[in-house]
Amino acid sequence: MSRPNQEQGQSDEDYRMEVHRLQKMMNNMSCAQQQRPLGLQDFSVSHALGKGAYGNVYRVRNNRDGKDYALKQILISSKNEGIPQSVLREITVMKHLAKKNHPNIVGLKSVFHIVDEQCGILKINMIMEKCDWDLHTFLRNIPRTIPEHQARHVTAQIVRGLDFLHSHSIVHRDLKPQNILLNRDQTVKLADFGLSKEHSNTTAFTTLVVTLWYRAPEVLLQSYYTSTIDMWALGCIVSEIYSRQPLFAGQDEAQQLTDIFKKWGTPTGKDWPSESVIDPKSYPIYKRKSLQELNRHMSPLAMDFVDKCLSYDRIKRISARAALNHPFMKPPVMRRVLQPLHANNK
Ligand SMILES: Nc1ncnc2c1ncn2[C@@H]1O[C@H](COP(=O)(O)OP(=O)(O)OP(=O)(O)O)[C@@H](O)[C@H]1O
Ligand SMILES: [Mg+2]
């Protein structure tokens, strides 16, 4: 395979090594799972489930076992600077997590690739368990507010998934409704680990994490962050589960911070991240609104939970482990089938 982009600082040899490493990793995985590694010829493609930054996600049927799966196909063209870090990271993280088989993390069955030498395209195929909806689609298709017990049941599973990730030193970093998958039987699975990153206690200094509306203030303020950035995102998501509207919705990073400050109050001295290079004086002092004012659909217990997720102080912000013991996590579970009226499942 020819090297994609000579100007980007990677040698032919580097790129070949990178592809070789990926091939070895995928072959090991496929061989461990069945006699002959799975290939595209084993699947019939049904329809698209979603669009990704590097490719698409399809619903497919495995002709060997007759079951339906989701195929995430990542296309890496020769114009790319080698294999993007986010792709390598997603495969590594999902492969690592697949061994543990957690009920709230989307399962990866197999990974294989096709190299189109002539077109210089590497197609990476990830075969995952297929879910019925993502939370974004689900929330926009239900006719009325989600019942309290379902909101709690969904949240509890997200927290269990996050606790599992964080206990394995993995920060999701892109937690948002589109990356939370949902099934008719009410099971919830976290997906899309393209921005996940194995972390030590504190990592830092990149703003290219967590999609804007769910992005924690310390990330927007270019400060250090920890796994609790996923808990800030969760606070925003729980509010959205009730209102079906984003809590903070800026169009760019500056607007996002302003929207947070206008609604949640400008952080005072001790809440302003000390490592931030941004001067707190550059923002007007806004008074904090109550959650009741911001979202009248939430129950008092949900408000207490969201309040603890949205602490400006990342040390005081509730961790996924502590969240497991919050009373909001202990719903009187009524098992009902999730069924948005206007959406067919995928
Ligand atoms: N296992 C699955 N079952 C059902 N639908 C899925 C599944 N995986 C992904 N999808 C759908 O496809 C969409 C895009 O998938 P995904 O989030 O993995 O891609 P992406 O956001 O572009 O990822 P990346 O950042 O790696 O490019 C999801 O929001 C969801 O609607
Ligand atoms: Mg996604």
Q: Which ligand is nearest to the CA of 108?
A: 1
Contact residues of ligand 1, CB 6 A cut-off: 49-50, 52-54, 57, 70, 72, 90, 106, 128-131, 134, 178-179, 181, 191-192, 194, 346
**From CA 282, how far away is CA 151, in angstroms rounded?**
38
Please state the atom number of ligand 1 nearest to the C-alpha of residue 52.
22
In a domain, 6, yes or no: no
Domain boundary among 129, 146, 165: 129
Q: Which ligand is nearest to the CA of 191?
A: 1
Are residues 147 and 101 part of one domain?
Answer: no
| ipTM computed for the complex | 0.96
In a domain, 337, yes or no: no
Q: How far is the CA of 35 from the centre of ligand 2 (A)?
A: 32
**From CA 287, how far away is CA 262, in angstroms rounded?**
7
Are residues 141 and 123 part of one domain?
Answer: no
Q: How far is the CA of 52 from the centre of ligand 2 (A)?
A: 7
pLDDT at 250: 93
Question: Nearest residue CA, atom 4 of ligand 1?
Answer: 131
Closest CA to 26 of 81, 82, 78, 74: 74
In a domain, 65, yes or no: yes
Question: Is 330 annotated as contributing to ligand binding?
Answer: no
Q: Which ligand is nearest to the CA of 176?
A: 2
pLDDT at 346: 65
Q: How far is the CA of 254 from the centre of ligand 2 (A)?
A: 23
pLDDT tens-digit series, residues 11-50: 556 656 666 776 666 666 554 554 678 888 899 999 999 8
The yes-or-no answer on residue 185 being catalytic is no
In a domain, 180, yes or no: yes
Residue numbers of the domain that contains 184: 133-329
Question: Starting from the edge strand earliest in sequence, which strands make up the sheet with 188-190, in order?
Answer: 133-134, 180-182, 188-190
Are residues 291 and 237 part of one domain?
Answer: yes
Q: In degrees, to the nearest 5, what angle opens at C-alpha 316 toward C-alphas 214 and 262?
A: 45
Domain boundary among 129, 152, 177: 129
Positions of the chain with pLDDT under 70: 1-19, 22-35, 52-54, 80-81, 195-210, 331-346
User: CATH no. for residue 161?
Assistant: 1.10.510.10
326: its two tokens: 């919050």
In a domain, 248, yes or no: yes
Are residues 298 and 194 part of one domain?
Answer: yes
pLDDT tens-digit series, residues 226-282: 999 999 999 999 999 999 999 999 999 999 999 999 999 999 878 888 777 788 888
Q: How far is the CA of 197 from the centre of ligand 2 (A)?
A: 15
Domain boundary among 129, 146, 181: 129
Catalytic residue among 42, 163, 174, 230: 174
The answer, as to whether pTM is greater than 0.95, is no
User: CATH no. for residue 107?
Assistant: 3.30.200.20
